[in-house]
Amino acid sequence: MKGWILAAALAAGCGGDADVAGNYTIALTNGDNGCNLSNFTPGQMTSGITFTVTQDGSKVTGTVEGVPGLYLVGLLGGGKNVFTGSVSGDDLDVESLGSKSYTTGNCTYTYNATIGGSLDGDVLRGRIEYRAADNGNPDCSQVHGCVTFQDYNGTRPPQ
């Protein structure tokens, strides 16, 4: 009997994945613009962004709504304001792989975006990163390995 009690106590203490589902109101601050994205000014702050997260176990889908969502569609391609990924413990990691193609000389590339964050109660904090995914042509030197990022924090109504 003691073995079952100990096993149950250990299982309860291991914890699980956080419940990250909800409608977050996000504020973000632009960081470095390593990819030279247009309409992106380092240090600029934006607030009131709606980020809707649904969850099924450890699988997560997040949708950026409104004008910021339209900006993502313009940058990444159609439907790319929707991010998919997972939650592990209190950490969220979702991505949207770009489908809109850009060219510079013989370089062809898209932008991918990832959102990483940690949940503390009803507050989600983290970073959004935009990276170019190129075809490896030498003409890609301006975008190869570039990173543009935004730091964010947001809240959801209490769960």
Tens-place pLDDT, residues 90-148: 999 999 999 999 999 999 999 999 999 999 999 999 999 999 999 999 999 999 999 99
Residue ranges per domain, the chain?
Answer: 20-155
Read off the DSSP letter of residue 84: E
pLDDT of residue 16: 80
Q: 96 forms bridges with which residues in the sheet? A: 113
Judge whether residue 2 has pLDDT over 50.
Answer: no
Rg for the chain (alpha carbons), in Å?
19
User: In the structure, what pLDDT confidence band is assigned to residue 60 with cuts at 50, 70 and 90?
Assistant: very high
Judge whether residue 7 has pLDDT over 80.
Answer: no
Residue 68 contacts by C-beta under 8 Å, 6 or more apart in sequence?
46, 49, 81
Q: What DSSP letter does each residue of 94-113 carry, written as one string? A: EEE-----EEETTEEEEEEE
Read off the DSSP letter of residue 36: -
Nearest 5°: the CA angle 107, 103, 82 is 110
**Sequence-ordered alpha helix ranges (H) in 23-63:** none
Q: Which amino acid is at 59?
A: K
pLDDT of residue 79: 87
* Mean pLDDT across 44-54: 97
pLDDT tens-digit profile of 26-46? Answer: 999 999 999 999 989 999 999
Give the chain's length: 159
Question: Using an 8 Å Cβ cutoff, are 30 and 41 in contact?
Answer: yes
Q: What DSSP letter does each residue of 109-147 carry, written as one string? A: EEEEEEEEEEEETTEEEEEEEEEEEE---GGGGGTTT-E
CATH 1.10.1220 fits 20-155, yes or no: no
pLDDT of residue 159: 77
**Which of 12-16, 57-61, 82-86 is predicted least confidently?**
12-16
pLDDT of residue 15: 52
Torsion sign across C-alpha atoms 27, 33, 35, 37? positive
Instruction: Enter the pTM of the model.
Output: 0.87
Query: Counting Cβ atoms within 10 Å, is residue 86 exposed (0-12), middle (13-18) or buried (19+)?
Result: middle
Alpha-carbon span 39 to 25, nearest angstrom: 22
